[in-house]
Amino acid sequence: MRQIDALKSPRFAQISTFARLPRCSDPSEGAVFVGVPFDDATTYRPGARFGPSGIRDGSRLLRPYNPFLEVYPFDELNACDAGDVDTVPGHIEDTMRAVESFMGPVFKETVPFVAGGDHSITLSLLRSVHGAHGKVNLIHFDSHYDFWDNHWGKKYTHGTWLRRAIEEGLVNRVIQVGIRGSVYSHQDKDDGRKLGVTSLDVRVVKSNLPATLEALNSLSGKTYISFDIDAVDPAFAPGTGTPEVGGFTSYEALEIVRSLKLQLVGFDVVEVAPPYDVSELTSMLAANLVYEAMSVVAKGRKR
Ligand SMILES: [Mn+2]
């Protein structure tokens, strides 16, 4: 988009690119960073519509070489920033259509790294993944199950996307990582079992990180990762809409992601809400999680 056209667009939230990467207009140019600035499906604090711009700001200090994985992720992936999807504030179904029409071709061409937005966007992303790859495994980092049937009678919210994805047959194995906090009833746990979801709660993960990594790395075939930043403790990631105390440290979150050896077809980090952030802590962590995920994909290509 030419600068003068950008001035006429209501896409006012985007002000920079991820990690100062070049802008790409053609997604097939390389692995792309994409923003989805939408937060009308949140149930508590809104603000995740500013996640993409916050994460771009939080990414400015990222440097080209990852010494832990010994890769240059941006070079290896020919990475660029494709800008934001044209979401429609206040209208979730229009936004879902916009995400699917933008992301469908992107998933066919390359591996996208998506910054939300609230977690409702992941249903549209998984529909696009399914269109490109068929059923994939899902690793879902979160403090919440997100498989409620509805909220206030509504089927599409940030707490119901996973049940919709399972109902629509978009996913194979689903492993949740970091579950904690109070829920409405014991039913939630039973529902997970009925839906065939493996939930590794925060105690299980924290008490035995190697066993968790083994479980995740045992997934075979194409895998998608959705990372709700509230999987991390609010002491490390305060800028989010439905915080739950007692989560991962930022080190643990980064270490889990960078230790994955999987065939990733895409990655999203959602629920970053900069209005509640402190000193860009949450945005910087989200940017670094994207960086580690890019590095995992880059490392896989080098092998
Ligand atoms: Mn959550």
**Contact yes or no for 142/269 (Cβ under 8 A):** no
**Contact yes or no for 274/58 (Cβ under 8 A):** no
Q: Is 142 annotated as a binding residue?
A: yes
How remote is the CA of residue 155 from the centroid of ligand 1, in Å? 17
pLDDT digits (tens, 9 = 90+) for 146-189: 999 999 999 999 999 999 999 999 999 999 999 999 999 999 98
Tokens at residue 141, please? 């980092």
241: preceding bond cis by omega (within 30 degrees)? no
Write out the H or E segment, with its range, that includes residue 97: helix 92-109
What is the pLDDT of the chain when averaged over all its residues?
94
What does the angle CA 247 – CA 143 – CA 218 come to, to the nearest 5 degrees? Answer: 95
Q: Is 119 annotated as a binding residue?
A: yes
Of the candidates 109, 82, 111, the residue with the CA atom closest to the CA atom of residue 24: 82
Q: Is 86 annotated as a binding residue?
A: no
How remote is the CA of residue 198 from the centroid of ligand 1, in Å? 16
Instruction: Output 9 or 142, whichever has higher pLDDT.
Output: 142
Residues surrounding ion ligand 1 at CB below 5 Å: 142, 144, 228, 230
Rounded mean pLDDT, 133-139 = 98
How remote is the CA of residue 228 from the centroid of ligand 1, in Å? 5
Q: Is the pTM of this model over 0.85?
A: yes
Dist. CA 173–CA 121, nearest whole Å: 20
**Contact yes or no for 253/298 (Cβ under 8 A):** no
How remote is the CA of residue 108 from the centroid of ligand 1, in Å? 28
Dist. CA 101–CA 286, nearest whole Å: 25
How remote is the CA of residue 94 from the centroid of ligand 1, in Å? 23
* Nearby residues of 18 by Cβ (< 8 Å), 6 or more positions away: 33, 55, 56, 59, 81, 113, 115, 287, 290
The domain in which residue 247 lies consists of 3-146+153-302
CATH number at residue 12: 3.40.800.10
Tokens at residue 152, please? 């206030």
pLDDT digits (tens, 9 = 90+) for 229-260: 999 999 999 999 999 999 999 999 999 999 99
Dist. CA 207–CA 253, nearest whole Å: 14
Dist. CA 4–CA 79, nearest whole Å: 25
Dist. CA 258–CA 133, nearest whole Å: 23
**Is the pLDDT assigned to residue 7 strictly greater than 70?**
no
CA distances from 28 to 15, 72, 90, 126, 244 (A): 23, 19, 30, 19, 38
Provide the domain count of the chain. Answer: 1
Residue 138 identity: L
Q: Is 228 annotated as a binding residue?
A: yes
Tokens at residue 149, please? 């049937």
